[in-house]
Amino acid sequence: MNEESRISHFTNPLYLQSGRILEPYDIAYNTYGSLNEKRDNCILVCHALTGSQHCSGSLNEKYGWWSNIIGPNKAIDTNEYFVICTNVIGSAFGSTSPISKIYPKDISYRFSFPVVTISDMIKAQRILLDSLDIKQLYAIIGGSMGGMQTLSFSILYPNIAKKFIALSTTHATSPYIIAFNKIMSEAIISDTNFDNGNYDLEYKPILNGLKIARMIGYLHYITKETMQNKFGRNYVNSDGLYELFGRFEIERYLDYNGENFCNKFDPLCLLYLLKAISIYDLSYGFNSLEDALKNIKNKLYLISFSGDSMFFANEMREIKTAMDAIGSSHLCDYYEVKSEYGHDSFLVECDKYADYLSNILKS
């Protein structure tokens, strides 16, 4: 599989939904496979909250977050399709973000970075595609925050792709998730080592607030049933049951997962992305969800998971119901995967929907 990693630099201003301007800015992206002569076999993959442009292949012996789906002879077959995945504006893996330098100064944005929205993210991606002379995509696909991007593309740029495939997402972030995002953000901000965003970006101190935020987020990624099956009430063999800080296996895993996350992600970037998710509403600027969905011109596929404890299946069914209500049932297919794993099902249980996804692309 032909895999490349690139960064494109743009000097024209990016006008944001807030009224702010980002100028200049970079977009980091990976490509997989080859673009055909007609340049019409391109699939844009949109990543989730803590994902990156590295959606497949292997980089430094670490597999991409969707390697089970993207690759030669897989559901998204790179023998047939040219796959591009960008790192969204505001994220921590090469695109312009709060930790980037303010041109032409030698200081980073930090909290002076403007709030970015899902709409801003896809606007930047559209500009990148234009720069690559890719006028129409074969498909756009993404899960969770990537699903938000996919849905927004279908509304704001309805002719950019022939097919829009959204997994494990919602049409508007619920107060339930906004509350969790608030708690995660407060954990980061209240950490004294965070120093109001002025921590050393090169030699990052230990940020327990970021670790705690990851722990909180993990509660949505898998269900109570999955947690029971994976960890049970097993206790760490080397820890004493009557030691105050002795740990159950689930506690040890949270420590490990949180510490590992601190080594690869940035707290300022997480704050900005959580904000983008919290304010996301597909009907923003329209009279209603139904009014927004009237913009859809090409086929929309919705894939939910019955055990998703973050963006519940009924939230995606609401989109299908709204599409039916406006007479656009022929433009929307809904498929619910039976699963008890949790929100991470779209990343972990790929075998349960890979054939369905493959058939969508071949149809």
Which residues, in sequence order, are CB contacts of 163 under 8 Å at separation 6+? 138, 139, 140, 298, 299, 301, 360, 361
Neighbouring CB atoms inside 10 A of 215's CB total: 18
Of 360, 337, 280, 299, nearest in space to 164 by CA: 299
- As given in the structure block, the two tokens for residue 301 are 């596929």
> Which residues have a Cβ under 8 Å from the Cβ of 81 and sit 6 or more positions away?
33, 41, 42, 43, 138, 361
Please indicate whether residue 308 is annotated as part of the active site: yes
Evaluated on CA atoms 116, 157, 72, 31, the torsion sign reads negative
Q: Pick the catalytic residue from 144, 152, 278, 309.
A: 144
Task: Respond yes or no: is residue 120 known to be catalytic.
Answer: no
171 as an active site residue: the answer is no
User: Which one is catalytic: 97, 168, 343, 345?
Assistant: 343
222 contacts 340 by C-beta, under 8 angstroms: no
- Identified catalytic residue from 120, 191, 266, 308: 308
Query: What span, in angstroms and rounded, lies between the C-alpha atoms of 336 and 168?
Result: 10
Residues known to be catalytic: 144, 308, 343
